[in-house]
Each structure stands twice: as structure tokens, then as C-alpha cells.
Amino acid sequence: MAQIDYFFGTISPYAYLAGDRLERIAERHGARVTYRPLDIMQLFDRTGGVRPAARHPSRMDYRSQELARWSEHLGMPLRMDVPMTNMAPSSYAIIAAQEQGGGDVGALVRGVLSARFVDGRDVAEDEVIRDVLAAAGFDPAIADKGLFVGAEEYGRNLERAVDAGVFGSPFYVVRDSGQKFWGQDRLDFLDRHLGTL
């Protein structure tokens, strides 16, 4: 069984635009996904990236156009008027839920991203985290109980990402082959690669 490490930030619009394609690809190939939310801003700092606030206006203008194109192409509504927020609380909840089990982690990740990019909700708020946990079949109390484990693993995910050559979100690493795929627009290549294993 192929093992995929999925590195992403819970404030990444491109991770949102991946939708459920990763899960459908993994199911088709019998692959197992480990969700590894991380601090995408620290990842940029560690790997030569530039935080959005410090990027040249021409890059940010192109990014806005590209996100709008992908949103239309995929038929996925996308709000970009949401303010920056702390991605740690939602990340801790995903990590704790994955550890505890009992629900659908992929649905949880999509729920967090949709809460932000469709509903415009603040994914750092306890109420939002509890709502998406419950909707994905998890105990909403994970938001309170899993903080310590989540915080430790969140830091380790950043180190794992740097060690694996990850530099953006979403980023998929196939452990079995070492092949890396950056971006929701590379999921077709991941699908093709898994078919060769």
C-alpha cells in the first residue's frame, strides 16, 4: 500500500481548491494518506519562500487572477476577502482527530478549508472548529482535548516537511518512491505515478 504524506496549511486557498481529489485518487490506488498540517508561513521562511504580505504586487495580482481562474474551472466558490488568522488551532484539531479516529479526516480538512474560503469563517475560533469536527463525524471535544498532542505534532510536521523537501501547500510526498508533487494542479501526475507502483 502506497503511503502519501499530505503537507498543507489550513489557510491555503490552493489546498481548498484540491477538494476531495486526493482522497478519490488514494482510494482508487489503495493508498493511505497521512495528513500533516503545518505552519505554512514558517515553511516559507525556512525554504526560501516569501510570505504573501511581502511579495511584489505583480505576484499578488497574478495570484488573485489565477485563484479566480481555478475557482471557476473547478466550479468551487472561493472567497478571498477573509483576513489572515492563526492556523494552529484548526491544525491541532486535525492532528488530534487523525490520532483519535472515529471520523473522516479528509472531510474534516475540507470542512476547515471550506469554512474559511466558502463561508468566510475564522478557522481559529473554537466554535468553527467544533462545527467542522462534528460534521466530519468526530467528537467536537477534540478541540479541547487534543491541544498538547496537536501542538507537538504540528511542530514536527514542519521539520518533516523541511527534511522532505516540501516548500508550499498543498504538497504531496509518496513515501515509497520519494516522488513529490506540489500544488493541486499536480494531482493528475500523482494519480498517474501511483498507477506505476
Distance CA 10, CA 136 (A): 16
pLDDT for the residue numbered 149: 79
Sketch out the chain's domains with CATH numbers: 3-194 (3.40.30.10)
Helix (H) or strand (E) holding 91: helix 88-100
* Beta strand ranges found along the chain (DSSP E): 3-8, 32-37, 171-174, 180-182
Contact 33, 39 (CB under 8 A): no
Helix (H, G, I), strand (E, B) or coil at 82: coil
Q: Which three cell numbers stand for residue 46?
A: 525556512
Q: Is residue 53 classed exposed, middle or buried when 0-12, 13-18 and 19+ CB atoms within 10 A define those classes? A: exposed
**Tens place of pLDDT for every residue, the chain, 197 residues?**
999 999 999 999 999 999 999 999 999 999 999 999 999 999 999 999 999 989 999 999 999 999 999 999 999 999 999 999 999 999 999 999 999 999 999 999 999 999 999 999 999 999 999 999 999 999 999 888 767 778 899 999 999 999 999 999 999 999 999 999 999 999 999 999 999 99
DSSP 83: P
